[in-house]
Amino acid sequence: MALRYALLGLLSEGPASGYDLAKAFEGELGSYAWQAGYNRIYPELARLTEEGLIEPAGEGVRGRRAYGVTEAGRAELRAWLLAPRKGGAVRNEPVLRLFLLSALDPEDARTVLREIADNSERQLAELGPAMAVDTPVSPGGRLPFGWLAAGYGLRQYRAAHDWATWALGELDKLGELDKLGKPGKPGRRHPEADS
């Protein structure tokens, strides 16, 4: 369902062909937010056209049909963006892996945590300089597509790095307690220990 809104959002920046849209999904949009290939994009473009949310907007390079968003499409996108987020079934594999991290031996858990810390550090090094510039404004007086999402990503990677470093410290504390022959901190029990 979100693909239609991703397409409407991309087309709100200006007319584009299915090929151009697929290329957008191969870039940062697909890496960080939503993935879609040709086999999903073209059928969705046909549905959006049938619903009057987009319309043909001429031909692009090599005879590719370009599409533009209609006023009804802009209204649909706006309504979706302003609607409160609905709670639903949560399926977030990366968070599930973190939830279950304690099932690993501490050294394996350290390996996972070091990978998270190293990856987030690389991403920070890549995004940091791009976000260090003054806020860019498009000729239409808007922020460029993806600018706010990049800022979110930068802060998310910073938080992931801080968390992984903290978690490694927690494992180090556990190792110190093991060396002292203590099963855990006095007075602190896992909530499930009593069940």
pLDDT in tens, 79-110: 988 888 776 666 667 777 887 787 888 899 99
What is the model's pLDDT at position 89? 63
In angstroms, the CA 44 to CA 69 distance is 13
Cβ neighbours around 79 below 10 Å, total? 10
In angstroms, the CA 12 to CA 70 distance is 9
What is the model's pLDDT at position 181? 64
Q: With bands split at pLDDT 50, 70 and 90, how would you rate the model's confidence at 192? A: very low
What is the model's pLDDT at position 174? 79
Cβ neighbours around 65 below 10 Å, total? 15
pLDDT in tens, 113-140: 999 999 999 999 988 888 888 888 877 7
pLDDT at 24 over 50: yes
- CA dist list (Å): 113 to 118, 177, 178, 189: 9, 20, 20, 24
Q: Which residue from 97, 73, 88 is spatially nearest to 7, judged by alpha carbons? A: 73
Helix or strand run (H / E) with residue 17: strand 16-17
Per-residue pLDDT, averaged over 171-180, amounts to 74
Q: What does the block give as tokens for 98?
A: 């973190």
66: which strand partners?
17
Sheet-wide strand order for 65-69: 16-17, 65-69, 54-59
Where is average pLDDT lowest: 28-32, 56-60, 136-140, 172-176? 28-32
What is the model's pLDDT at position 193? 45
Q: pTM here? A: 0.61
Q: Are 120 and 157 in contact (CB under 8 A)?
A: yes
Q: With bands split at pLDDT 50, 70 and 90, how would you rate the model's confidence at 186? A: very low
- Which of 162 and 136 is assigned the larger pLDDT? 162
- Which of 86 and 49 is assigned the larger pLDDT? 49
